[in-house]
Amino acid sequence: QEAESLMKEYQDEGINVKEFYHLMQEWLKDKILVDKTPSYAYNIDILKRAEIDFENAFYIHLVRHPYGTIRSFEEAKLDLLVPFMQKSSFTRRELAEMIWLVSHQNILEFLKDVPADRQICVRFEDLVSYSQSTVTTICQFLGLEFHPDMLQPYKEKTERMTDGLEVVSQMSGDLKFYLHQGISADIAYRWKQFHTVDFLGDITWDIAKIFGYGE
């Protein structure tokens, strides 16, 4: 209730997005603000605002094999959570591939103008298969000290802010969060059990190969 009241106050004042982020950074003091919103990648102009509104922001480009992403999208039925997707004439699988493709096309185009020392590409498969070395590399990139708890994302689940805004609303983030006990390398290519015939478009494979994924 306190948060909702505060947000209404800011809305009534007409505070813009940049000003609100500035407020959050003031509240955080010496902590680091991390924004992980996948839908930003749907529109390159939104991505460009990060360079306009922030000074020397760092970017972690997280990628996953398109088949893995598509399988995850299908399992979670993510199209049901987005109004414009519900109205689409495309199948859930087609939507998933297009979102993967357009998102990474936009990210790659955006990162062309970002200095190399402020961006890093991380493959999901490496993150779950070689967790410690991958996380250590991310820490070095961000100038952070590695901590063992970074490899325990499911530790103390009840202390995590994973619930939705309302009591019965859907949680934000990984819908299978409470089903996991720890990082599992098996999840990297579990999609192979379900996708046995190649159905990806050529343009999707062209982008996938940039990240080291072969047909």
- Give residue 134's pLDDT: 97
- Give residue 66's pLDDT: 97
Tell me the two tokens of residue 171.
């949680």
With contact defined as beta carbons under 8 Å apart, do 83 and 33 qualify? no
- According to DSSP, residue 77 is labeled T
Q: At how many degrees (to 10) do helices 202-210 and 92-111 cross?
A: 40
Q: What is the pLDDT of residues 83-118, one digit of tens each?
A: 777 777 888 899 999 999 999 999 999 999 999 999
Q: For the whole model, what pTM was predicted?
A: 0.86
The SS3 assignment for 197 reads coil
CA distances from 57 to 13, 69, 117, 183 (A): 27, 26, 10, 28
Place of tokens 């199948």: 91
The SS3 assignment for 27 reads helix
The SS3 assignment for 119 reads strand
Confidence band (pLDDT; 50, 70, 90) for 129?
very high
165 pLDDT exceeds 70? no
